Amino acid sequence: NIANTLPSVQPNTEILNTINQSEFIKFENHRHLTLAMFTRSLPNGQKCNRKWLLYSHSEGINRENPFISGGFDKRKKSERIGEHENSQQHKNSTNKWLLRFNNNNSVNKNLCRQITVETNYWFEVLKRLVSVITFLSSRGLAFRGKEEKFNSQHNGNYLGLLELISKYDSFLKAHIEKYGNQEKGNPSYLSKSICNKLMKIMKNSLSTCIIGENKKCKYFSIIMDSTPDLTKVDQMAIVLRYCTSTGVEERLTRIGSFPIKDI
């Protein structure tokens, strides 16, 4: 069955969203696509999705994917779609597309292969960055220095540690040589903004884990301590203590700054 062999272009949830987004007003009446356009009734009464059909939001027509450049933008769309589905042109196009798809010669296959390679590459980069961030954070060490450049004695612990690892890691060494010290707009994942985003993600994940552990405990306490500085900003720390089966756990959950208002 060709319909079952084709990859799913629009699952049921996406079809329903497409129907809602295709609404337009004609002669003061609200009209939109129908579910019948994306489903086909077989001779035995069974219904299946038309996985080869999608809706073009930019052009406002039903478009066949990926066989023709035209679409169904006139009246009686359901009838015209059914006629085209049974045409010899559609069957020939489907057979040719499936033949290329199964032989790994389609554009989609090449793009998917390229995306997979790129995803694995940047995953390896992020894995090393997360390890460095975890090491520095667990020991309370500063991240940045006076400069944000590689091969500098004043670039701080974060970039300095990446340079040290790159001496024994050929992958990271090649990445730094290719993407290090680039200007803004060139993705390298080595900038301070990416470092801050990773720390924020890790902080949120750790907070969720701590709160989850605390909810399972019967006894807990919250400790808040603060001290003002010369700029009249109160530095506050929130510590959560709770009892587990292995003993008492103490977790620093948040550090915040709050301006002191004159009373």
What is the domain partition of the chain in residue ranges?
A: 2-105, 110-195, 217-259
- Residue 194 has what pLDDT? 92
- Residue 37 has what pLDDT? 76
pLDDT band at 99 (very low <50, low <70, confident <90, very high): confident
Q: How far apart are CA 170 and CA 10, in angstroms?
A: 42
Q: How far apart are CA 22 and CA 167, in angstroms?
A: 56
| 87-95 contacts at long range (C-beta below 8 A, 24 or more positions apart) | 90/64, 91/2, 93/67, 93/68, 94/2, 94/6, 94/52, 94/67, 95/2
Cis peptide before 66 (omega within 30 of 0): yes
Higher per-residue confidence, 101 vs 168: 168
Reference 251, options 198, 218, 203; nearest CA is 203
- Residue 258 has what pLDDT? 74
Highest mean pLDDT among 2-16, 156-170, 171-185, 201-215: 156-170
How confident is the model over 43-84, as pLDDT tens digits?
Answer: 888 888 777 777 666 554 444 454 444 544 445 556 677 788
Q: How far apart are CA 119 and CA 64, in angstroms?
A: 29
Higher per-residue confidence, 5 vs 262: 262
User: Position 249: which residue type?
Assistant: E
Reference 195, options 183, 186, 203, 185; nearest CA is 203
pTM of the model: 0.59
